Structure 1
């Protein structure tokens, strides 16, 4: 076996396509592969999961490296008063194969054993994937706990998690006797891998030749920063002396910016939409020694996400068949609404859905903040409407959890409003299938890409959104989507929210509801155009190909 080949037991189950023969190891903190494998929290994982499926479909020479989270992200449940509750429950996966590979990394100058499990491509149609865990016999409790909770709220624990992915993932490849041409860091969580590579290859230039970096967020909270001395004490740099770390990263103060280090140790980087590429070049352009930052717009895997009957009707150009199938799919979603909320929704009624990770900048409760106008919309009977919310706040984010709970309590006032718990792949699919209108409300420029609206559109849901992220490359107002105008940049946050909210209400009342109920043929035409446009560019096979063309 050469270093360009995986051991036989872990090789790709297909002959590699010649245009995708360059070998790539894709590091990600989360992967949303299947409802049965809870190794993800939100959009980053959904994106990574679709990438691994498309790499398989295209016969690419890619493998995935992630972490086996014992408790997943968390299980979202309800308290006795229906408020959101957080439950951490052990996950056991009989379909993961023990590779027999165990190795050690140092965390806080203490040896920690790491075990690797293998996800066979046959289970979920992905490329070969490896998941690392420290929850094994021989480790003390603190070491075992590193891989228990995705994005642990304790800072030192989260740093250790990044080390398992980065240092551990790079070391796993050595244990496999495998040397990929490209080390792809999907976000900066795995940047510690660069220091392992530095020790292995002897120079920062050799690291740069092999490493590429995808940044997913312009949000400050998404670009991790830690005290460089704390990282050094925790052995984050894998034995590379601190003076050398400063030299090769160009970070000479005490704030270690993970994204900045990942950029400086990569030969190519990318944002995840055209707009985000521009934002990223602006954000990082003032720093010296930054590589070229291009963009590869995020996408989702059509084969996994699209309802086959809807897709058949769309390809036949049959808008009425799409509409009929949509009612059947809505009925399936509404069984969950009835089960969780005790409300009977009607498949003939326009259904608006807001569902994604709960975060402040996404403004999940934007419309509800105007109680009077929201109540008026929900209570009018000329154009009936149904609204559903779902999503997971970060478990320690009290502000986002408060918003989630305030929506639950608000829903008590309206038989046509529901808030669902358990937003994972399974529920996400039901919500995309059941949405007539997919509501997207982020503050403009703060959503790097967003992908939930793509899979909604694949399933005949119309995007109703601010002009941000991937939407800028897709939407034509009134032709395939409904877009609110961008608020002037000189407004205060309150004035901006007021203006956006009023635009959403105005479009609902004056354009969307009359079209849906009074001009169904126009609605059907708009739906078919939306499906055509989303399938033309926003499938992840295009994205996986572009990574080879533009980044690898």
Structure 2
């Protein structure tokens, strides 16, 4: 039996995600969605959950980011070579796009845990001799191209992914769609399980939708309607070759456009949002469905700095596979918590000096803000009143920023430009740096090395927000708008601090900008800065609470146990 065939006998959960972030060397992710998928897979391996993951190869990655002399983002392809890291499997499958046959091959990556659990990850690739030149490019760019290009990618992921699993001989118990990009797999399942026509049935009754529904789980991450993939039916009919009648497809996916979220919801037994608040927001958007909530998490070992790994290993053995042990963090002496954090801080500052030529002061309170750059995340909120910021922060604060804007997101790119202008104009009074090319590797240095993690989204647009969880497991308190996971993890002055008013309702019409800005500055000036400089033991107490009251729970081990017992068991 070939080595890869060892994965075939056991029934598995097929986990589909357009992007998966496993390491920086495999740049098939753009941000939180992909990193969450990678963390999910790693926890499945740790917990020995029988999973197989399916994604796109994205040969040219997302993109590499640089910042030019004018402070503007520049993009270049992030070319990588799958043959150096992955194994090309010998079996291919076939799909039809625009009436052309398109071959798909799968590359295998094994995620292996110290617990000896292993999860196969299949990366789908159309760059195969014999495919038309344009079809060979389908799996080149993550989130690249126009609507037609995106729809072709989703055909490869959903239909091609379901077919390759079948061709390879995987025994699939459930199909879990991580966002709507993979929704077309439901059409393949419908076709595969179609009943033969009988005299008493009409054409539509021959499609066994209930059988497909029983096999599918769907997780939505997008809290606004405009963020859900939708394709016009003239494009769908031109590109997609499938047996599903158009009227049935419209019943399942929407009458005006093919809405991939609606298609997945109509054909899934279990649907969930990624935080309690996000579940409520999604329920308001899709009132005809019952939407559960399973709060996202982070993979404990991946996102804990080497300094804290060594500390936890000494005092809390087995913490990486049993993160609930982090509730015992009080058994670790305060001075060891602080010394460990100072090590992570020095490691970050050395990286900043080498990368950007900027020397930061290890004794100054350092704020971190880094994530995918989009206007709703309000990365420049802290710059709203520069006079006030300089008054309270000069000599007392320094800041580290990072993040990429999508190449087509001009407002996001302009946001980076504005931030760079502030950094250059005021950097002699408050030291600030923007780290280029934010990715998993940069994040693993940046997040543990700052003293305070800032998050300022427009509520309720932060579906979950896992960067703050990565901070917590490294003893970095959160200072955040009450949205996403922070509504659940926040205890004011205990695990960190809130910004602005409490969450109220599911509308985005009231963003509380003025209140948020005032609260941000007031808490920095009157609470956070004095605590950091005048009460070190009080600060360390909050660091420990971030670990013992947040990190012990907000991780993908807890999350995956909930998926197993609530979503996969039926």
Distance 2:361 2:5 in 1: 49
Matches within 5 A, 1:67-78: 67-78=56-67
Residue in structure 1 matched with residue 81 of structure 2 by the alignment: 92
**What secondary structure is seen at the aligned counterpart in 1 of 2:342?**
helix
Gaps of 5+ in 1: 2-6
Residue in structure 2 matched with residue 547 of structure 1 by the alignment: 563
Distance 2:508 2:389 in 1: 22
Q: Is residue 30–residue 41 contact of structure 1 (8 Å, CA) maintained in 2? A: yes
Residue in structure 2 matched with residue 193 of structure 1 by the alignment: 185
Residue in structure 2 matched with residue 58 of structure 1 by the alignment: 47
Q: Please state if 1:406 is matched with 2:398.
A: no
Q: Is residue 192–residue 238 contact of structure 1 (8 Å, CA) maintained in 2? A: no
Residue in structure 1 matched with residue 137 of structure 2 by the alignment: 145
| 2:257 aligned to which of 234, 255, 260 | 255
Distance 1:139 1:454 in 2: 43
Deviations 1:114-136 (A, max 9, x none): 11100023499751110001122
Residue in structure 1 matched with residue 325 of structure 2 by the alignment: none
**What secondary structure is seen at the aligned counterpart in 2 of 1:137?**
coil
Residue in structure 2 matched with residue 37 of structure 1 by the alignment: 26
| 2:246 aligned to which of 242, 248, 260 | 242
Q: CA RMSD in A?
A: 2.2
Q: Is residue 501–residue 515 contact of structure 2 (8 Å, CA) maintained in 1? A: no
Structure 1 residue 487: Cα displacement: 6.7
Deviations 1:182-226 (A, max 9, x none): 010000000111101100001111110111100011123321112
Structure 1 residue 310: Cα displacement: 4.5
Q: How many residues align?
A: 531
Structure 1 residue 524: Cα displacement: 0.6
Distance 2:54 2:553 in 1: 27
Distance 1:134 1:367 in 2: 45
Instruction: Describe the shift of the 1:493–1:174 C-alpha distance in structure 2 as closer, same or farther (beyond 3 A).
Output: closer
| 1:206 aligned to which of 204, 208, 211 | 211
Q: Is residue 250–residue 258 contact of structure 2 (8 Å, CA) maintained in 1? A: no
Q: Is residue 459–residue 503 contact of structure 2 (8 Å, CA) maintained in 1? A: no
Distance 1:324 1:89 in 2: 37
Deviations 1:94-120 (A, max 9, x none): 120010122221112221111110002
Deviations 1:469-503 (A, max 9, x none): 00111110101111123278799979721210110
| 1:520 aligned to which of 507, 512, 536 | 536
Residue in structure 2 matched with residue 227 of structure 1 by the alignment: 232
Distance 2:6 2:271 in 1: 27
| 1:215 aligned to which of 220, 243, 246 | 220
Structure 1 residue 256: Cα displacement: 1.7
Residue in structure 2 matched with residue 4 of structure 1 by the alignment: none
Q: Is residue 214–residue 271 contact of structure 1 (8 Å, CA) maintained in 2? A: yes
Distance 2:66 2:226 in 1: 26
Residue in structure 2 matched with residue 182 of structure 1 by the alignment: 174
Matches within 5 A, 1:464-543: 464-486=479-501, 496-543=512-559
Deviations 1:27-71 (A, max 9, x none): 001111112111100000111111000000001111100110011
Moved more, 355-364 or 74-83: 74-83
Distance 2:96 2:354 in 1: 48
TM-score, scaled relative to structure 2:
0.89
Q: Is residue 185–residue 212 contact of structure 1 (8 Å, CA) maintained in 2? A: yes
Moved more, 480-489 or 84-93: 480-489
| 1:279 aligned to which of 274, 278, 281 | 281
Residue in structure 2 matched with residue 421 of structure 1 by the alignment: 436
Moved more, 479-488 or 141-150: 479-488
Gaps of 5+ in 2: 195-207, 316-328
Structure 1 residue 265: Cα displacement: 0.7
Distance 2:495 2:562 in 1: 25
Distance 2:134 2:59 in 1: 14
Q: Please state if 1:442 is matched with 2:444.
A: no
Distance 2:415 2:391 in 1: 21
Q: Is residue 215–residue 271 contact of structure 1 (8 Å, CA) maintained in 2? A: yes
Structure 1 residue 329: Cα displacement: 1.1
Residue in structure 1 matched with residue 319 of structure 2 by the alignment: none
Q: Is residue 167–residue 238 contact of structure 1 (8 Å, CA) maintained in 2? A: no
Instruction: Describe the shift of the 1:73–1:300 C-alpha distance in structure 2 as closer, same or farther (beyond 3 A).
Output: same
Structure 1 residue 79: Cα displacement: 2.6
